[in-house]
Amino acid sequence: MLRYLMDENVNPIYPNQLRRRAPDLVIRAVGEPDTPPKSTLDPAILLWCETYNFVLVTNNRASMPVHLVDHIAQCHHVPGILILNPDMSIGETLDELVLIAGGSFEEEYQDQIVHLPIPRIR
């Protein structure tokens, strides 16, 4: 199962509610114990995600693609980056994150940025 690191700019309701909805899901948030401290720069967060095998969940649509390109250019990898969609409700987003975590295989999102919701094949 995927593990998520929530960026510090993600509303705290997301990690709190994910922990309630999916207690087996490993959720960490920037600034919590054993995670990067708040105000850590994005390149260092990507290194942390790579080291500890966490998918980053963020609102950062602007600079994260640039940071990912730089990260990969330095021969690094990241388990994935999920970008939240402001048009989705909190409940829809939580459902999507639980579904992705439980239904994805390891390395499915490696070195990718995926915008929620992910497309479904019907």
Q: Where are the domains of the chain?
A: 4-115
pLDDT band of 119, cuts 50, 70, 90:
confident
pLDDT at 1 over 90: no
- 75: pLDDT strictly greater than 70: yes
Per-residue model confidence as pLDDT tens digits over 82-97? 999 999 999 999 999 9
| Strand 113-115 to 81-83 pairing | parallel
* pTM of structure: 0.95
Would the pLDDT of 122 be above 70? no
Sign of CA dihedral 8, 12, 16, 17: negative
**What proportion of the chain, given as a percentage, has pLDDT over 70?**
98
Amino acid at site 96: E
Q: Which residues contact 41 (CB under 8 A, 6 or more apart)?
A: none
Per the prediction, the chain carries an average pLDDT of 95
CB 79 within 8 A of CB 47: no
Q: Which residues pair with 57 in a beta bridge?
A: 6, 82
- The pLDDT confidence band at residue 64, using thresholds 50, 70 and 90, is very high
Q: How far apart, in Å, are the Cα atoms of 42 and each of 15, 36, 52, 80, 100?
A: 19, 10, 15, 14, 23
pLDDT at residue 120 tops 80: no
* CA nearest neighbour of 7 among 53, 55, 66: 55
Residue 73 has pLDDT above 80, yes or no: yes
**Of 20, 17, 16, 15, residue with least CA distance to 4:** 15
What pairs with residue 55 in β-bridges? Answer: 4
